[in-house]
Amino acid sequence: MTDFRIKTILLLLLSILFFCIVSVAQSPQSKIKSYSPWKIKSFAKDANKHGGIYSAIDFYEHYHNLNPDKVNIKWELAELYRKSRDYTKAEEFYKQVYEMASKDYPKALFYYAQMAKMNSKFNEAANLFNTFKKEYKNQPDEQLMKKLVKAETDGCLMALTMKDTALKMVVTHLDKTVNKPYIDYAPIPVDKTTMFYASIIADSIIYYDPEDTANKKPVRKYYMAKKSLGPKDDWKGGYDVPLPINDEDFDVGNGTFSPDGTQFFFTKTIKKRTTGYVTEIWMTSNNGGQWAEPEKMPDPINIDGYSSSQPAVGVSTRTLLPVLYFVSDRPEGEGGLDIWYANYNQKTKSYKSPRKAAALNTVGDEFSPSYDIETHQMFFSSTGWPGMGGFDVFKSIGEEGTWSNPANVGYPVNSPADDIYYIVSKDREKGFFVSNREGGFALKNPTCCDDIYTFRWSEYIHIAIDGYIFEMMEKGKETSNEPEIIYDLGAADSLKTAIVTDSATVVKDTSYTGPKEKYESIIPEATVGLYLVKNNESFFIKNLPSDIEGEYFFDLEQGNDYKIMVEKDGYFNNQGYFTTKDVVTSDTLFLPLELKPIPQEPIVINNIYYDFDKATLTESAKKTIDTTLLTLLTENPSLIVEISSHTDGKGDDSYNLKLSQGRAESVVKYLVEKGVPVERLLPKGYGESKPIAANEKPDGSDNPEGRQLNRRTEFKVIGSKNQFSKLNQNQMIIKRKNPDGTEGEVKGFGSEQMD
């Protein structure tokens, strides 16, 4: 890890998690003048080492006044101003260092540009970043810095127009019963009127005094705030939390409840003798109404020498088990602090080894993840994606290791300062975030300290989609003996519904007894999935079953492209696409979707041709497969199919059988090359044994049209990877030869596969 990354991690851990809290009651300013210069410098280093940033600033400022030309002291002050988030002074001193000794301090220009950006000088900052990119050459971390510079430069350009597209929301700074002059952070909405948050209850700067070792430093604790009933965001804080999570010796914060509310995960900051401060994830459980004593989560969630913090909990759609997301600086990450996730193991009752949420992470730092289970959205802060300030808030849809490209949530949530801990309420009309923007309660400088803000959408647009799932009835086909719902497609007025039984005998709501070619049969209990579509990729949001009337309903967000995917055992999947990008007022979209039953008979694939006496596919045949069979198998990933090839009656029977088998295997080989698992494909050559038309006319002459119909390629669904599917009735194991020549088997059903 580069020195730049180590310093960044230290900055985050010290200034955001437990910033300048080594303590004594009064400022050391009154004593500084009595110290010799070398002692002042020594105390400055010691204060900085122990996290006493404000004390270190006081010592270094006094020493700088005595020695104004020392560049190394200017650098120390610039770094301390940045850590204390005094962007104005940091910009001034980084500029001086750059102008005096750019070769000795090659990153001075980068930080000068960064501070200019955080002081809202976006054009100037962009120019400075471009100059830095040209000058910063032959350095070990040159490529890393190039990526950071690109993100910062793009952020400058974004910031110039971000206010023009401001979100329509009201942002409220919570009062002094919640926000104190020190950092207040990690809000957790418990219900509509209750919030947990972390804070130090102190109203003045806590200084470091090198001559006073008796005083104990105050620690971060969790507190509770209550909201009065009514439309205003009037929160009053300072109440004790009803959980045993606070510690008199260690800082706590960064918590989250499990989805069922029976577990609470949080972060505890520990000072290690060898590695200094690290953060650990702890957990407490509610058993029978009582919260147990917290326990440190074991390896591999917490590992020696590295920090793990800021837990968030989701639920895997694959396993329906918890997924723990958290932030760590452990090895093999993308940058300094990255988002990781760990799946829960039901058998061992523990979490598996964590993996990187790589699509979210950058060479910068990722921070304060918050997961919305209902919408499958991850909200997090980052310095590595283009943003308006230092940390900006971003959102992405997905889970575990699959995520959409993160999008900046916009202004006024994001500002030129640091914006972190964004979390939404269950109704998604309001929420909280934390920021050190100007206007908060400040200890030392206008942007020193984090405060908690609440937001409420002033013009929240409710967008939804509903529809129904149906099967188009065929003319003359009788309904089942079980009641089913149908829709009258020919009605001139509003849509009419009816429940019918066999032979269209009406039992409810209508007297219709005619043929059913204009009716749709409703399909209940189909699995309807909602997906976000970005850059031709689909990202799962949620599933639900269609109700007894075949209907479904989803809440949506403005400005997105979506896909609805419908699945039902015994039917081919279907999907529909729609967008909310042009929706500017509250609305409910309507999208009915048809499912087609999987037939027991083979389905002919037209226009698959072979060269004469050859088994290899022509290019035109491959294009046909791409748009037919490959598409169907991709959209129906559980189906197992037989690919059959047939010849006409010309030639020897055994030769035709061998030729047709080779042609069927060619189709299977091509599909496997396209990514279809071989276990889902069974090639079968039938030769001339299954004609569907006469090869000769009644007078004995040749029938070219009939022979053309007989020379065909078909597919037939013979099973499903879903072991409970009714497609697997009478299933048997069928031996087959794989395209690579190895022996294999495929599961199928019916008697035809035995020959």
Question: In the 3-class helix/strand/coil scheme, how is 551-567 assigned residue by residue?
Answer: EEEEEECCCCEEEEEEE
Last residue of a domain, one of 457, 492, 508: 457
Q: Are residues 548 and 624 in the same domain?
A: no
Q: With a cut of 60, say whether residue 496 has pLDDT above it.
A: no
DSSP-assigned beta bridge partners for residue 278: 270
147 SS3 class: helix
Q: Are residues 538 and 572 in the same domain?
A: yes
Q: Are residues 258 and 401 in the same domain?
A: yes
CATH of the domain at 519: 2.60.40.10
Q: Identify the DSSP state of 696.
A: B
| Model pLDDT, residue 369 | 98
Last residue of a domain, one of 457, 480, 513: 457
Q: Identify the DSSP state of 138.
A: S
CATH of the domain at 375: 2.115.10.20
pLDDT band at 210; cut points 50, 70, 90: low
Q: How confident is the model over 592-645, as pLDDT tens digits?
A: 999 999 998 888 888 887 777 888 898 999 999 999 999 999 999 999 999 999
Which residue from 630, 600, 599, 621 is spatially nearest to 713, judged by alpha carbons?
Answer: 621
**Could you give the angle at which helices 53-66 and 37-49 cross, rounded to 10 degrees?**
160
Q: How confident is the model over 409-428, as pLDDT tens digits?
A: 999 999 999 999 999 998 88
* Average pLDDT of span 65-81: 95
How far apart, in whole angstroms, are the C-alpha atoms of residue 325 and residue 378?
Answer: 10
570 SS3 class: coil
Q: Are residues 541 and 681 in the same domain?
A: no
| Model pLDDT, residue 3 | 42
Q: How confident is the model over 276-301, as pLDDT tens digits?
A: 788 999 999 998 889 999 999 999 99
Q: Are residues 705 and 659 in the same domain?
A: yes
pLDDT band at 19; cut points 50, 70, 90: very low
Owner of token pair 């999008």: 407
pLDDT band at 216; cut points 50, 70, 90: low
Angle value at C-alpha 681, between 680 and 686, nearest 5 degrees? 150
Q: How confident is the model over 242-282, as pLDDT tens digits?
A: 999 999 989 999 999 999 999 999 999 987 766 678 899 99
pLDDT band at 510; cut points 50, 70, 90: very low
* Average pLDDT of span 96-114: 97
Question: In percent, how much of the chain has pLDDT > 70?
Answer: 83
* Average pLDDT of span 348-363: 96
pLDDT band at 475; cut points 50, 70, 90: low
CATH of the domain at 128: 1.25.40.10
| Model pLDDT, residue 609 | 76
Is the entire prediction scored with pTM above 0.75?
Answer: yes
Q: How confident is the model over 674-688, as pLDDT tens digits?
A: 999 999 999 999 999
| Model pLDDT, residue 48 | 83
| Model pLDDT, residue 80 | 96
Q: Are residues 422 and 400 in the same domain?
A: yes
| Model pLDDT, residue 548 | 94
| Model pLDDT, residue 316 | 94
| Model pLDDT, residue 351 | 97
* Average pLDDT of span 552-564: 94
pLDDT band at 47; cut points 50, 70, 90: confident
Q: With a cut of 60, say whether residue 517 has pLDDT above it.
A: no
Q: With a cut of 50, say whether residue 136 has pLDDT above it.
A: yes
pLDDT band at 502; cut points 50, 70, 90: very low
Q: With a cut of 50, say whether residue 715 has pLDDT above it.
A: yes
Q: With a cut of 80, say whether residue 699 has pLDDT above it.
A: yes
Q: Are residues 79 and 227 in the same domain?
A: no
Q: Are residues 82 and 194 in the same domain?
A: no
* From 109-123, 608-622, 637-651, 735-749, the region with the lowest mean pLDDT: 735-749
DSSP-assigned beta bridge partners for residue 224: 196, 239
CA 353 vs CA 302, 322, 340: distances in Å: 10, 14, 10
Which residue from 149, 139, 118 is spatially nearest to 3, judged by alpha carbons?
Answer: 139
* From 39-48, 392-401, 639-648, the region with the lowest mean pLDDT: 39-48
| Model pLDDT, residue 55 | 86
| Model pLDDT, residue 338 | 98
Q: Identify the DSSP state of 231.
A: S
pLDDT band at 21; cut points 50, 70, 90: very low
pLDDT band at 513; cut points 50, 70, 90: very low
Q: Are residues 161 and 178 in the same domain?
A: no
* Average pLDDT of span 171-198: 94
Question: Which position has the higher pLDDT, 510 or 608?
Answer: 608
Report how many domains make up the chain. 4
Q: Are residues 588 and 658 in the same domain?
A: no
| Model pLDDT, residue 489 | 44
Q: Are residues 313 and 212 in the same domain?
A: yes
Average pLDDT of the chain?
85
| Model pLDDT, residue 109 | 98
* From 354-358, 420-424, 645-649, the region with the lowest mean pLDDT: 645-649
Q: With a cut of 50, say whether residue 460 has pLDDT above it.
A: yes
Owner of token pair 């400055």: 44
CA 100 vs CA 72, 94, 96, 723: distances in Å: 11, 10, 6, 73
Q: With a cut of 80, say whether residue 495 has pLDDT above it.
A: no
pLDDT band at 730; cut points 50, 70, 90: low
Q: Residue by residue, what is the 3-state secondary structure of 409-464?
A: CCCCCCCCCCEEEEEECCCCCEEEEEECCCCCCCCCCCCCCCEEEEEEECCCCCEE
pLDDT band at 535; cut points 50, 70, 90: confident
Reading the block at residue 591, the tokens are: 């999208």
**CA 290 to chain centroid:** 33
* Average pLDDT of span 585-593: 95
- Length of the chain equals 755
* From 277-281, 335-339, 470-474, 513-517, the region with the lowest mean pLDDT: 513-517
Last residue of a domain, one of 562, 594, 626: 594
| Model pLDDT, residue 274 | 65
Which residue from 189, 185, 179, 114 is spatially nearest to 152, judged by alpha carbons?
Answer: 114
- The domain containing residue 450 runs over which residues? 171-457
| Model pLDDT, residue 76 | 96
Residue 475: other Cβ atoms inside 10 A? 9
How far apart, in whole angstroms, are the C-alpha atoms of residue 355 and residue 347?
Answer: 19
Question: Which position has the higher pLDDT, 177 or 202?
Answer: 177
Q: Are residues 408 and 557 in the same domain?
A: no
Reading the block at residue 438, the tokens are: 């100007």
